[in-house]
Amino acid sequence: MINMQKTYDLAESRRLVQHNVLRNTYWLLALSMVPTVFGAALGVSLHLPLGGGLMALLFLAVAFGFIWGIEKNKDSGVGVALLLGFTFFMGLMLTPLLSRILGFSNGGFLIMTAFGGTAAVFAVLASVATVSKRDFSGMGTWLFAGVVILLLASVANIFLHIPALSIVISVVAIGIFSAYILYDVQQIINGGETNYIRATLALYLDVYNIFTSLLQLLGIFGGDRD
């Protein structure tokens, strides 16, 4: 009887930890959108020249530097500060894409559509990951391999400028990072991820990449120059 009570208490404690991690992750994810918006608004208003192949390589170096710093400080307030700094930086790096989209007469509508679509994808898949009995942990290796290939293709296309490849990259990115939402949320639900700062970083990158990829496609197929 005592062993059963200990098992029950342990299970309840684990569920409480998972609930707190998920709650804190969602709160920090929502907060991280604030510096992203500020960064994007600043970049667009100042017309920062953030395009080009060299800038893309610099972006990767700075982004991975932030990610390394967040991982090293994931158990302290410094990690939160670095995460918010990273999201501000990522907002700045939206400048070329947003400037191009805002060049369309319906640019504002396209941006809001991409935002709404991304929010809908996240809400649906996060809910599925929360209630589904299916185990999505097996997707991790395949998704990581997909991201590596996607990253290499994206870097190559910076110099190749192949429109069809841009479309393929955006479509595949939406698929991969949508699946990553299932994986990352379920990692929290099942106790595989117990650090909310690291969990927030993972989900932020999922959302960011879905948004940019969706906006790329909307700009290609729905942009209106009139």
HEC string for 19-74:
HHHHHHHHHHHHHHHHHHHHHHHHHHHHCCCCCCHHHHHHHHHHHHHHHHHHHHCC
Cβ atoms of 170 and 213 within 8 Å: the answer is: yes
Average pLDDT, the chain: 89
pTM attached to this predicted model: 0.91
User: What pLDDT is attached to residue 160?
Assistant: 82
Percent of all residues in the chain with a pLDDT value above 90, rounded to a whole number = 66
Total residue length of the chain: 226
User: What pLDDT is attached to residue 50?
Assistant: 73
